[in-house]
């Protein structure tokens, strides 16, 4: 409740300036000693939301999987997001430790959480270690209010070249791309269509929405508009699933309004485990994401891995692991952001996906069995090659050795 009141009373940019002021005042207290690789054994201390049931948590676990595959010794220090966030995933609990054993810190906390983390951490956490930040971001322009936090780190890593390029515009420090190591997403046998209360006899499209993400960026209205253009008259064997997480009453009313006149609409609002959500993706016949920008696009990658054909915006980080052959890539126009929706600032840029082309893809996936089967098979094959654990682990090992073996 207090958090909501503060957000209402104090604008975003004011809060960020306060964070920056606090950081600058306290920086002399937390400024660490220079790196000495010989003080601790070679290895990685992964610090982040390793138990989080949200995007940053899943990202942290994917990085853990990359380190594990590489054979580099590592330990995990789990940090908590806030009391309102669910943090129940213990899949890497065996690697957790409060003791930071190794000479490289990989701090998987986004810039807006760094001030709080540094002020609540003992300075010795940073001392005599090489400190790397792992950051996600979604636009070509990096927020200027976050730049001051770079000084805490020796270099920055990001899961896509799209994010890395944005960070390079504001720092001369090394910035490297470490793509995620994708393994087949875990599903549950019990989680079939009956489990989710969705019909077995319909061709179902899936659109997912999380109220914790910026709605303008996720652009759910475009996905719904494309679906309605594809099926201006509802067919009895077609439907759409809207997975709405953390959606308020106003947002739910908005979705219901958009889908007026359509009966085969299945809005799911329950909180799902990661395995349940993966199972839902697998249950769907196709997935739609007409986002304006993504720092990676994990749900799209998971859909491809599970053989669920995907209609997606052909811009930003997801375009790095998708292809015209394996997916239905929707052309875009790059447009300026017209209103201030921090941290996405007016005048920054993102994509406006072509709804008409998306609608053509959506319709063809239903009507053309050969086209559908090709996308299904090509997507699963392509993502296994493009984001293989071995490839990601090799990139990590090469950079780690360059740091520690010199």
- Residue 406 has a pLDDT of 72
Q: Where are the domains of the chain?
A: 2-181+389-404, 193-386
Q: CB neighbours (10 Å) of residue 92? A: 19
Q: Is the pLDDT of residue 169 over 70?
A: yes
Residue 18: is its pLDDT beyond 70?
no
Render 239-284 in DSSP notation, one character per residue.
Answer: EEEEEEES--HHHHHHHHHHTTT-S-EEEE-S---HHHHHHHHHHS
Outline where DSSP puts E strands in 290-358.
310-313, 328-330, 332-336, 349-353
Tokens of 299: 């749900």
Residue 173 CB-density burial (10 A; 0-12 exposed, 13-18 middle, 19+ buried): middle
In degrees rounded to 5, what are phi and psi of residue 146?
A: -105, -10
- Give the model's pLDDT for residue 356: 99
Any idea which of 111-120, 201-210, 396-405 has the lowest mean pLDDT?
111-120
Q: How far apart are CA 50 and CA 94, in angstroms?
A: 11
Let me know if the fold of 2-181+389-404 is the same as that of 193-386. Answer: yes
Whether omega before 295 lies within 30 degrees of 0, making that bond cis, reads no
- Residue 139: pLDDT over 80: yes
**Long-range contacts of range 148-152, CB-CB < 8 Å, 24 or more positions apart?**
148/20, 148/23, 148/24, 149/23, 149/111, 149/114, 149/115, 151/27, 152/30, 152/32, 152/114, 152/118, 152/126
Q: What is the mean pLDDT of residues 45-60?
A: 93
Q: Which two tokens stand for residue 280?
A: 């839902």
pLDDT confidence of residue 32: 60
Mean per-residue pLDDT of the chain? 92
pLDDT at 87 over 70: yes
Mean pLDDT of 313-323: 99
pLDDT exceeds cutoff 60 at 43:
yes
H helices then E strands: how many in the chain? 14, 14
Q: What is the pLDDT of residues 273-312, one digit of tens each?
A: 899 999 999 999 999 999 999 999 999 999 999 999 999 9
Q: What is 193-386's CATH superfamily?
A: Glycogen Phosphorylase B; (3.40.50.2000)
- What percentage of the chain carries pLDDT values higher than 90? 77
Residue 190 backbone zone (phi > 0: left; psi -120 to 50: alpha; other: beta): alpha
Placement of tokens 């054994």 in the chain: 41
CA distance 324 to 357: 13
Give the integer Cα–Cα distance in Å for 338 and 390: 42
Element (H, E) at 65: helix 55-70
| Segments in 71-151 forming alpha helices (H) | 111-119
Query: Which of 40-49, 122-131, 214-223 shows the lowest per-residue confidence on average (mean pLDDT)?
Result: 122-131
**What pLDDT, on the 0 to 100 scale, is given for residue 355?**
99
Residue 14: pLDDT over 70: no
Residues 319 and 297 sit within 8 Å (Cβ to Cβ): no
The CA distance from 77 to 383, in Å, is 30
Which of 303, 297, 281 is CA-nearest to residue 375? 303
pLDDT level of residue 209 (50, 70, 90 thresholds): confident
pLDDT per position as a tens digit, 210-267: 877 889 999 999 999 999 999 999 999 999 999 998 888 888 999 999 999 999 999 9
DSSP 206-222: EEEEETTS-HHHH-HHH
pLDDT band at 31 (very low <50, low <70, confident <90, very high): low
Strand order in the sheet with 175-177: 74-78, 44-48, 104-108, 130-134, 155-158, 175-177
Q: What is the reported pLDDT for 213?
A: 82
Say yes or no to pLDDT of 399 above 80: yes
Distance between CA atoms of residues 141 and 347, nearest Å: 10
Q: How confident is the model at residue 340 (pLDDT cuts 50, 70, 90)?
A: very high
Hey, what CATH class is 2-181+389-404 in?
A: alpha beta
Per-residue confidence (pLDDT) for residue 271, from 0 to 100 = 86
């Amino acid at each position: 409740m207090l958090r909501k009141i503060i957000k209402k009373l104090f604008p975003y940019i004011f809060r960020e300036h306060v964070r920056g002021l606090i950081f600058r005042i306290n920086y002399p207290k937390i400024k660490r000693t220079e790196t000495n690789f010989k003080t601790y054994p070679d290895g990685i201390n992964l610090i982040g939301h390793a138990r989080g049931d949200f995007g940053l948590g899943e990202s942290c676990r994917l990085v853990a999987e990359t380190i594990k595959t590489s054979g580099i010794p590592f330990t995990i220090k789990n940090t908590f997001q806030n009391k309102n966030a669910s943090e129940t995933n213990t899949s890497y609990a065996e690697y957790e430790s409060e003791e930071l054993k190794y000479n490289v810190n990989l701090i998987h906390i986004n810039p807006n959480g760094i001030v709080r983390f540094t002020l609540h951490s003992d300075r010795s956490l940073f001392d005599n270690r090489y400190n790397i930040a792992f950051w996600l971001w979604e636009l070509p322009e990096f927020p200027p209010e976050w730049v001051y936090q770079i000084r805490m780190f020796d270099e920055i890593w990001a899961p896509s070249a799209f994010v890395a390029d944005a960070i390079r515009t504001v720092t001369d420090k090394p910035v490297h791309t470490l793509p995620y190591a994708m393994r087949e997403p875990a599903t549950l046998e019990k989680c079939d269509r009956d489990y989710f209360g969705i019909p077995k006899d319909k061709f179902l499209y899936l659109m997912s929405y999380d109220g914790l993400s910026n709605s303008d960026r996720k652009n759910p209205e475009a996905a719904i508009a494309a679906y309605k253009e594809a099926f201006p008259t509802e067919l009895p064997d077609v439907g759409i699933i809207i997975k709405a997480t953390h959606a308020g009453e106003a947002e739910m009313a908005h979705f219901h309004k958009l889908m007026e006149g359509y009966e085969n609409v299945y809005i799911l609002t329950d909180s799902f485990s990661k395995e349940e959500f993966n199972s839902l993706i697998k249950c769907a016949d196709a997935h739609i994401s007409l986002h304006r920008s993504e720092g990676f696009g994990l749900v799209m990658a998971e859909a491809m891995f599970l053989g669920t054909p995907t209609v997606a915006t052909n811009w930003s980080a997801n375009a790095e692991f998708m292809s015209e052959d394996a997916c239905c890539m929707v052309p875009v126009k790059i447009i300026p952001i017209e209103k201030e929706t921090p941290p996405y600032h007016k005048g920054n840029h993102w994509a406006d996906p072509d709804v008409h082309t998306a609608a053509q893809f959506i319709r063809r996936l239903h009507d053309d069995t050969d086209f559908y089967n090709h996308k299904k098979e090509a997507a699963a094959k392509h993502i296994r090659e493009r984001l293989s654990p071995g490839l990601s682990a090799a990139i990590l090992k090469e950079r780690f050795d360059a740091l520690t073996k010199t």
